[in-house]
Chains A and B, each alone.
Chain A
Amino acid sequence: MKIQATLSQLESLVAQIEDQDIDLDEAVKNYGESIKLAQKLLDELTKAKTKITKLNHQADAMISSEIQ
């Protein structure tokens, strides 16, 4: 999953929801999809944060071993 691309997709869906010309049922359908995409994005961002934390620990350990 490409985070930036998915974010752009979410922006486009929200823009459609904001468009007064589309039917309400279409807007509700888009809202459902937006919620799904947002959940995926937040999951991916959490994974990325966890990965960064893990990498930071690895880097700390590597530097500590070099210092000792």
Chain B
Amino acid sequence: MAGQPLTVSQINLYLKTLVETDVLLDDVWIAGEITSVKSFQMGGQLYLTLSEGDAQLSCVVYESFFGNIKCPLVNGVKIRARGKIRFYQKRGTVTFQIAYAEPAGTGALAESFEKLKAKLTAEGLFDLARKRPLPEFPTRICVISSPESAGLVDFKTVLKSLAPSVQVIVIHAVMQGVQCRASVVGALKSVPHAEVEMVVIVRGGGSAEDLAWFNDEAIVRAISAARVPVLTAIGHEVDTTLSDYAADHRAATPTDAAKIIGFPFQAAIQKITSLIEKASLALNFQLSSMESQVSELISHAQLHLHHRVSSADEAIKFLLHRAHQANPAFRLLQGYSICRNTKSGKIIKSIQDVRPNDTITATVANGSISAVVTQTQL
């Protein structure tokens, strides 16, 4: 016998009352594997599905409980969650409101890591052939990091000391916890690709659970889809996330990332300095050598000219000496005299130039002597 049918609203209200007044369903632990994680809605919730074989349960985590989530809510991770079952009257659906979550067992994270790694490796996301070289001398880079985290401070400090000319645009993101996934993916999407030459994802050290958020498939895919090379600096040297595998390059730490970017600048500065020193030395050597050449040439000219002037001087002195020797007055000093016929004034050079009783005048060095010729003889 068919009774009056209930309306959908009526049955949904009934189910809601039934579910939400059940004490067992108001505080329940449920274990399962995360099989899908939906993006954040405007309200700040995270939607996911817990599965076990063919069985599935829709779940939601409200923002106020994000601090209670102790493991990354990413696909493949097996979790134990505590919360309450709620019935949504409008849609007639049952949802598990998670207030706390933790990994289901010690190997849960590692197992999901390996599973996703194998899947993405098979897709070729980690292929070496996909890796792009980092720009050697970037002028502007984009850094995704949480505001003023120790890792970001280290990165900026070291980069500024090594390559102060590099402009850094920081996009703030939540680097761990439930919001990490959407925040980092959103940050990667908002990178001004046309204005920057590379992206650096900076996140300092932390526990394996903290860093495991970077094993999220959505983050890994966003990194591999980036239009400029990505350098990851997540955690410490021993930590490797799937994000690191997807990146074009991995730095061991944020400081290491700054060094990877800054060292080529330092090397170039050293090379330039060395070349300038070499050029300066070579030029100074050439100038000094020219100065020596000029001085040497002038010394040569001086020496040669001095020699020629000295030679000329000697020649003149010799000629003067010869002239002096040839001066008749010099002969007179030696005792010679010049005799003239007093009457005719002619120099007497022969006995025929005089006769007995002629008067002659003999000129000597200091005067003259008159004499009368008495006789001549051969």
Residues of A within 8 A of B280 (CB): 52, 55-56
A7–B293 CB distance below 8 A: yes
With the chains together, A35 CA to B300 CA distance in Å?
12
Interface string of A1-27 (1 = CB under 8 A from B): 001000100110110011010001001
With the chains together, A67 CA to B302 CA distance in Å?
53
B312–A67 CB distance below 8 A: no
Q: Which residues of B from 267 to 302 have beta carbons under 8 Å from A?
A: 269, 272-273, 276, 280, 283-284, 287, 290-291, 293-295, 297-298, 300-302
Interface of B is mostly: helix
Q: Which of A10, A11, A31, A55 contacts B305 (CB 8 A)?
A: A31
Q: Which residues of B from 303 to 325 have beta carbons under 8 Å from A?
A: 304-305, 308-309, 312
B301–A45 CB distance below 8 A: no
Shortest distance between the CB of A24 and any CB in chain B (Å): 6
Q: Which residues of B from 216 to 272 have beta carbons under 8 Å from A?
A: 265, 269, 272
Q: Which of A10, A17, A27, A59 contacts B294 (CB 8 A)?
A: A10
B305–A17 CB distance below 8 A: yes
B269–A63 CB distance below 8 A: yes
B283–A52 CB distance below 8 A: yes
Instruction: Please give the number of chain B residues whose Cβ is less than 8 angstroms from any Cβ of chain A in the complex.
Output: 26
Beyond A34-B301, A56-B276, A67-B269, whether A24 also contacts B290 by CB under 8 A is no
Chain B, residue nearest A48 (CB): B287
Tell me if B21 is interfacial: C-beta within 8 Å of chain A: no
With the chains together, A55 CA to B297 CA distance in Å?
30
B284–A52 CB distance below 8 A: yes
A14–B273 CB distance below 8 A: no
Shortest distance between the CB of A63 and any CB in chain B (Å): 6
With the chains together, A30 CA to B308 CA distance in Å?
14
With the chains together, A53 CA to B304 CA distance in Å?
37
Shortest distance between the CB of B101 and any CB in chain A (Å): 49
Beyond A27-B308, A28-B305, whether A3 also contacts B290 by CB under 8 A is yes
Shortest distance between the CB of A43 and any CB in chain B (Å): 11
A24–B308 CB distance below 8 A: yes
B297–A11 CB distance below 8 A: yes
A49–B297 CB distance below 8 A: no
Q: Which of B165, B284, B293 contacts A49 (CB 8 A)?
A: B284
Residues of A within 8 A of B186 (CB): none
With the chains together, A17 CA to B305 CA distance in Å?
7
Tell me if B164 is interfacial: C-beta within 8 Å of chain A: yes
Which 8 A-B pairs rank lowest in CB-CB distance, beginning with the nearest?
A: A14-B301, A14-B297, A17-B301, A59-B276, A38-B298, A38-B294, A41-B294, A18-B304
- Complex A-B: 11 CB contacts under 8 Å: A14-B301, A24-B309, A27-B305, A27-B308, A34-B301, A45-B290, A59-B273, A63-B269, A63-B272, A66-B165, A67-B269
Binding site for B on A (CB under 8 A): 3, 7, 10-11, 13-14, 17-18, 20, 24, 27-28, 30-31, 34-35, 38, 41-42, 45, 48-49, 52, 55-56, 59, 63, 66-68
Binding site for A on B (CB under 8 A): 164-165, 265, 269, 272-273, 276, 280, 283-284, 287, 290-291, 293-295, 297-298, 300-302, 304-305, 308-309, 312
